[in-house]
Structure 1
Amino acid sequence: MSTDKADALAAASFRNAQFEPRQSTSRFIADALRTAIVEGSLLPGEPLRQDAIARQFSVSAIPVREAFRQLESEGWVTIEPNRGASVSLQSADEAREIYEIRASLESLAIGIAIEQHTPETLAECQRLLKAAANEPDPALYVVRNEQFHMSLYAPAGRPRLMELIGQMHRRGERYLRVKFGLPTFKGQSDAEHQAIYKALCARDTEAAQRLVARHLLATGELVYRFLNEAQAFAQSSYAKKRRRSARPSSTRQGRQ
């Protein structure tokens, strides 16, 4: 593992330790790898060397393998026989589907939770809303964003529903980073969060559900378009390089 990659994992480990200092070793490693992927320190398709990561964290191979399996179940890592683990490629279709699922689950959750909110829980929502809006660090914004969304639904008292929503948040983290990279849309997202919060305070169930679903579906479509356009551009650039590399050979053949 290069020095830069090791430094990136060390930094990710420190940030995660600030939030959950009593994690298991495998979960700690998984969180650090996930953060490095979200931040772009580990790129799509990049191999993950088990031995190098074990040395970086001063552990045996066992918790690293467990971390890989956890990340594979969340869609972050691909494990292939005889080839090992690598960072999963980004998928426009997956991104859109994740946000479609989130729209369904979270509109249901806010509808259940809205009448159970108290002045204290609403104040906590507002605090987390401001924290997300004012967070400039992409990796920490992912955390703040999830905390705000989950605070909207917590009073519902539906642990299994909350677990499913949490799983979808984790699978969508790397795609949320795409949106964060577009400053205009980050500001739009913060405004949509504010509108959802106002509907929550007004106990307007229909508006809250509609705004949550619209917010998430719009994010999914935005990321879907961005990734498709990026893939089309990459394919076009690759085709142009292939054509350029073929020209000298063709010219020489024509002169013979």
Structure 2
Amino acid sequence: MSDTTDGFPLDAPARNPLLPAAAPRESTSRVIAEALRAAIVDGTLAPGAPLRQDAIARHFSVSAIPVREALRQLESEGWARVAVNKGATVAPLSANEAREIYEIRSALESLALSLAIPNHTAATLREATRLCRAAELEPDPSLYVTRNAAFHMSLYAPAGRPQLQEMIGTLHRRGDRYLRLKFDLPSHKGESDREHAALLDAVQRRDIAAAQSLVAAHLLDTGKLLHRFLTERTQAEAALANQPKPRGRRPRTTTGS
């Protein structure tokens, strides 16, 4: 991806070939959607940036059909907005959406923990410990988002509830671009890491009630934090936009003696 935040087109071709030589259309649209999603999460594509079908098709050397399918997928997941006669743009960040995502996650992940904890083994707990540590040590915002999701999902995998796992995974993806904002709040990133460690400890002790309480507080607090951060940022931007523009000085005029 390019460093531009002005949206597709990306003038330069992809640095690495993303598409298999004979990828079926379903696979092609999925790869395009994943590439666009990653660019939105890491800030390459900013909120409101245009997603031009023809430029995306040229970038990936494909027809318009898989691009339209990829954009429809991103729209259904909340990543893009498509307006008639105006095309697609990256969806704006929403304080209310961020809070709601974490509220729903709190309920679903509390349920998943209650089902998973009795089925954890020494091997699954070792893997969860490894992933917890990897997320704690990750300095890159985009990679942290991935490692954070991997840690959470490792706690729920032994539940053996594929539909519940899929629903939680979808919410993680919806929340990826919001979670990245935590890197603008370094003290909260450290606090989140400590909460992860406490949650892992409760799972290791097989204390279902404590684990549910910890994950609920962790997720609800994150939602409230992001809601407050985005609300305050929106208010600050609005106040700045409404400030009167300074008037230029009138040029001096000279008169003859």
Q: Which of the five TM-score ranges fits, normalised by the shorter chain?
A: 0.7 to 0.9
Aligned position for 2:252: none
CA offsets per residue over residues 78-119 of structure 1, 9 Å max, x none? 011111100001100000000000000001100111111000
Counterpart residue identity of residue 213, structure 1? A
Distance 1:110 1:137, change over 3 A: same
Structure 1 residues 208-227: aligned runs within 5 Å: 208-227=211-230
Counterpart residue identity of residue 133, structure 1? E
Structure 1 residues 72-91: aligned runs within 5 Å: 72-91=75-94
Aligned position for 1:168: 171
Query: Normalising by the residue count of structure 2, what TM-score does the alignment of the two structures yield?
Result: 0.87
Higher helix share: 1
Aligned with residue 130 of structure 1, among 133, 150, 156: 133
Structure 1 residues 176-191: aligned runs within 5 Å: 176-191=179-194
Aligned position for 1:119: 122
Query: Normalising by the residue count of structure 1, what TM-score does the alignment of the two structures yield?
Result: 0.87
Kindly name which structure, 1 or 2, has the bigger radius of gyration based on alpha carbons.
2
1:134, distance to aligned residue in structure 2 (A): 1.4
d(CA) in 2 for partners of 1:140, 1:27 = 20
1:174, distance to aligned residue in structure 2 (A): 0.6
1:2, distance to aligned residue in structure 2 (A): 8.0
Q: Percent identity?
A: 60
Counterpart residue identity of residue 162, structure 1? Q
Runs of 4+ in 1 over 3 A off after TM superposition: 1-5, 7-11
Counterpart residue identity of residue 190, structure 1? D
Aligned position for 2:96: 93
Aligned position for 1:60: 63
Counterpart residue identity of residue 28, structure 1? V
Figure out how many residues of one structure are paired with residues of the other and give that number: 240
d(CA) in 2 for partners of 1:168, 1:160 = 13
Say which SS state the counterpart of residue 113 (structure 2) adopts: helix
Gaps of 5+ in 1: 249-256
- Tell me how large the CA RMSD over aligned residues is: 2.4
Does the 8 Å contact 1:26/1:66 carry over to 2? yes
d(CA) in 2 for partners of 1:181, 1:9 = 31
Does the 8 Å contact 2:110/2:215 carry over to 1? yes
Does the 8 Å contact 1:9/1:32 carry over to 2? no
Say which SS state the counterpart of residue 24 (structure 1) adopts: helix
Does the 8 Å contact 1:110/1:208 carry over to 2? yes
Counterpart residue identity of residue 235, structure 2? A
